[in-house]
Structure 1
Amino acid sequence: MSGLGWATSRTRPVIVPSRETGGRARWGVNGLGRTSTEVTVVGGGVIGMTTAVVLAESGHRVRVVTREPVGRTTSAVAGALWEPYLAEPRQTVAEWAHRSYRVFAELAEEPGTGVRMAGGTKAHPRPGLPAPWWATNHPGTVRPAAPDELPAGYQSGWSARLPLVDMPTYLDYLTRRLVRAGGEIGLGTVSSLAELDTPLLVNCTGLGARELVPDPMLRPVQGHLVVVANTPRIDRWFVEAGGGEETTYIFPQPGAGVVLLGGTAFADQWDTDPNPKVAARIVQRCARVIPALSDAPVLDHRVGLRPVRSQVRMEREIMPSGAMCVHSYGHGGCGVTVSWACAADAADLLTTQ
C-alpha cells in the first residue's frame, strides 16, 4: 500500500442529496454515522474513488485497492458529460443522476475540480426530437434548441447546461480529497473478495466484477475517443441523438486546451487498442458538425470498456468470513453521472442494518 496510514477524517462530510429528504442536500450520507470503522474499497475508478471519499469524510478509515493507478482506469478515458446512458433500471438511474447532479453543480463552483457547467445541444437530423426522458427530474434545465444552435443538417434538438467533467483533473481532485480525509490508495490485484481481511468491503470493480464475483451478466461496450487540440476554440458540447454503435459527440475541455471527439458503442468488444479507421471516421463525423475540427491536430486516442449490465448491481452480501460486502458496479456509460448518489447509497447499505 501507499504508506499513508490510517487516519480519522477531520473534514466536513460530503453533502449528498438523500432519498429521505426528497433530493434536498444534507450533511452526511443517508443513515451513515461517524463511528470509525475500517473499510476496503476495491476499484479505483470514479465509482470506487467517490465511494471512498464519502466513507472517509464520514469518519471511516478507508483503503482503496486498485489494479491500475487511478489515472489509468476506465474512468480516466471517459468523455464525462453528465447524462444517463446505457444503465438500468431507468427510474433508479434517474434518481441517482438527479442527486449527483446537485453535487456536480456545486463542484463546478470550486477551482481545481475539473467540473464545469457547460452549455450544449443534442440534435437529430430529422424533426421532432423529444426532450430526454430524465428531464422530468430537472425542470427548467432542458429547452428546445434555438435554430442557431442546430448545426447544418440537423432539424431538431434540445439544449441544456450540464456538468462536463475533465476526468484526469477530476480523478486527481478525488485522490487529493481522499488523502486529505485520511484514506489511502494501494496498487494490488484482488483475485477473490474473500481473501480481503476487512470487516467492511465495497466492490466497485466495474467490468472486473465479471471474473471477480463472478458475474456473467456484465458485458463490455467499447468507447473510442479522439483527443484533438482546441484550435477552433469550441466551448459548447454537442451530441447527435440516436447514433447507434458509431456515435457523434464533441466535448470541449477548455482547461486542458483539448476537445474530445467521439465515439463508439461496440457491444462485446474487448479490444482497448485504438483503431485508426474508427478514429478517422470519428473525426470525419465530428467535422461535419464543426468543419474546423478537420484541421485540429490529433493529440491522443482513448479507448475504454463501459461495464454494462441488465441493471446496476447495488446490494449487500455477507461473505463467508462474516464480512459485509456491498456490490456497486455495472453503471454502463454513466458512472460519473450517478457516482455521488451511488456512493452515498453504497455507504448507507454498508453501515446500516
Structure 2
Amino acid sequence: MSAETKVKVIVLGAGVLGLSIAKELAEKGVSCAVVARDLPEDLESGQFASPWAGANWSSFAAEGSREAHWDTVTFHHYAQLSQSHPHVVERRPFKRFWNKEGGYPDPWFKDLVFGFRSLEQDELAPGYKYGQGYECYTMSPPAYLGYLAEELRSYSVPLIRRRVSSLDEAYSMEDIGPVDLVINATGLGSRSLLGVEDELVYPIRGDTVLIRAPGIKTTMKVLDPNSPQDQQLGKRFYIIPRPGPGDRVILGGTELDNDWDTLPRPETAKRILRDAYAVCPELSGGKGWEAIDVISCNAGLRPARKGGARVELEYRRLGEQRGLTPHNIRSEENVGREVGVVHAYGIGPAGYQTSKGISEEVTGLVDKFFRDQNTSISGISNGLENQHTQAE
C-alpha cells in the first residue's frame, strides 16, 4: 500500500474469516488493513481459533439456508484452489459410518460433492453396518492461513498486531487514520469488545490430536448419536488427513459448549486415539493405539453464537458510550461521527467451509454502506487507481 493510498476499511480479526474478507475487499480494489491481537503466524496461540480447526468441507447447514449458500460458494472456491494450491486444499475420499437402523437421510449436498454413494460391506470400518462415500476437500489450516496472509501482502494490505478493546477506537487508529467502516470479525472477542458485547457469543471447545500417519488419505466420520456418557463428554469422531508434506492427520474430538479452557486433557487425548484406532487400525500399521505417532495434543475454542452467525451491516455514532469513549475518539471531529460496522462472527465450527461465501456477502454489505454515502466499491477502486496514476 503506497503512502498516497488512504485506508478505507479496517478489518478487526485475523482468523480465517477476517483474512478471507480482507482478501475479497483487496481483490475488489478496496484499500483495507487487518488489525488483530493474533496474526496468521501465531499458530500456537490458545486464544486463536483458526489454527486448531480440522479442517474439511462437510456441511451441516439446512438445505436452502443462508449457511448452505455460504458453504456452496466456498465449495466451488476450494475446487479452484485445490488445482492451484494442492498443498493447501486437496480433494480426498470421504466416508461416513453408522449402525442406526433406518439410517440417515441423504445430505443436501450429495449432488454437489463427487461420486456420492452407499458403501459396500467391505468398505466399512470395523464394527459398522452402514455408510456413505464421496469425494470432497480437506484443508491444512496453517497452510491456508499462510496462503491468505501471502495474498494480502501481495495486495500491500498491512497486517497490524494491536489489541483493540472497543469498537470505537478502530475508527481512528494511530498510523492508519480515520475510517468510516469497520469489519468486526473478532470471533469470541465480540462477547467482550466494547460497543458490541454480544452475550449470545460462546465457545465450543474442541479437542484434537495431530498425528503422523503415512498412507492415510480418507476422511472418516461416525454419525451415530452419542450415548448419555458420550454426550456429557461432548464426544465427536473424525479422522482428517491434511494436504501437504509430513503425512499429518488430525483426529477428533469434542464439542463442549461454554468450556473456556484451552489446556489439552490427557484422558481425552487417549480416548481420541483409542477411538480412531478402532475405526482405522492403519493409523499405526495395526500395532495398537499406543503406537500411533503423536505430534501434539490440542484444544481450541470455536467461536459460536446462539441463533447462528451474525453477518449484517450496522450504522452507529462514535462516542455514544459515556465514560468509555477512547481518547482517540474524544476530539470534536470524531464524537458523533456517523460510521458503519459490518459484523461477521459466530459461525462456530464452520469457519473454513463458509469463509468464501461469508466474504462475498460482507463485500456486498460494504458496497451498500458506501452506496449510502453516494459512492460504491467500484467508485472507491477507481478513486484509488486515480491516486496511484497521479502519484506515478
Unaligned runs of 5+ in 1: 9-35
* Distance 1:89-1:328 versus aligned 2 partners, 3 A rule: farther
Q: What one-letter code is carried by the residue in structure 2 that aligns with 1:328?
A: A
Could you give the per-residue CA deviations for residues 137-190 of structure 1, whole angstroms, max 9, x where no partner exists? 627653222323210111112112111000101110010011111211011111
Give the structure 2 partner of residue 235 of structure 1: 217
TM-score for both structures, normalised by structure 2: 0.77
Q: Counterparts of 1:170-319 in structure 2 under 5 Å?
A: 170-196=144-170, 197=172, 198-212=179-193, 213-231=196-214, 233-241=215-223, 242-243=225-226, 244=231, 245-255=234-244, 256-293=246-283, 294=289, 295-309=291-305, 310-319=307-316
* Distance 1:74-1:88 versus aligned 2 partners, 3 A rule: farther
Pairwise CA distance, 1:7: 8.2
Could you give the per-residue CA deviations for residues 99-151 of structure 1, whole angstroms, max 9, x where no partner exists? 11000111000136510111110111334432454326627653222323210
Q: Counterparts of 1:117-136 in structure 2 under 5 Å?
A: 117-135=91-109
SS class of match (1:108): helix
The 2-side partners of 1:348 and 1:336 are apart by: 20
Unaligned runs of 5+ in 2: 173-178, 284-288, 319-337, 372-392
The 1-side partners of 2:72 and 2:50 are apart by: 20
Give the structure 2 partner of residue 336 of structure 1: 352
TM-score for both structures, normalised by structure 1: 0.85
* Distance 1:151-1:136 versus aligned 2 partners, 3 A rule: closer
* Distance 1:147-1:89 versus aligned 2 partners, 3 A rule: closer
Q: What one-letter code is carried by the residue in structure 2 that aligns with 1:152?
A: P
* Distance 1:307-1:278 versus aligned 2 partners, 3 A rule: same
The 1-side partners of 2:86 and 2:209 are apart by: 24
SS class of match (1:334): helix
The 2-side partners of 1:113 and 1:206 are apart by: 27
Pairwise CA distance, 1:42: 0.4
Could you give the per-residue CA deviations for residues 26-81 of structure 1, whole angstroms, max 9, x where no partner exists? xxxxxxxxxx8611100000000000000011111111011112243311110011
Structure 1 vs Structure 2: percent identity of aligned residues?
Answer: 31
- Kindly indicate whether the alpha-carbon contact (under 8 Å) linking 1:52 and 1:178 is maintained by their aligned counterparts in 2: yes
Alpha carbon RMSD of aligned pairs, Å? 2.1
Which of 67, 79, 83 is the aligned partner of 1:105?
79
Q: What one-letter code is carried by the residue in structure 2 that aligns with 1:203?
A: N
Give the structure 2 partner of residue 142 of structure 1: 116
The 1-side partners of 2:49 and 2:142 are apart by: 11
* Distance 1:195-1:88 versus aligned 2 partners, 3 A rule: farther
The 2-side partners of 1:112 and 1:135 are apart by: 23
The 2-side partners of 1:215 and 1:90 are apart by: 27
1:64 is aligned to 2:38: no
The 1-side partners of 2:115 and 2:9 are apart by: 37
SS class of match (1:284): helix
Could you give the per-residue CA deviations for residues 289-321 of structure 1, whole angstroms, max 9, x where no partner exists? 012432221111221111121211011111213
SS class of match (1:82): coil
* Distance 1:123-1:229 versus aligned 2 partners, 3 A rule: same
Q: What one-letter code is carried by the residue in structure 2 that aligns with 1:226?
A: V
The 1-side partners of 2:251 and 2:217 are apart by: 13
* Distance 1:6-1:302 versus aligned 2 partners, 3 A rule: farther
The 2-side partners of 1:304 and 1:5 are apart by: 37
Is the helix fraction higher in 1 or 2?
2
Q: What one-letter code is carried by the residue in structure 1 that aligns with 2:199?
A: P
Could you give the per-residue CA deviations for residues 228-250 of structure 1, whole angstroms, max 9, x where no partner exists? 1114x211110111455211111
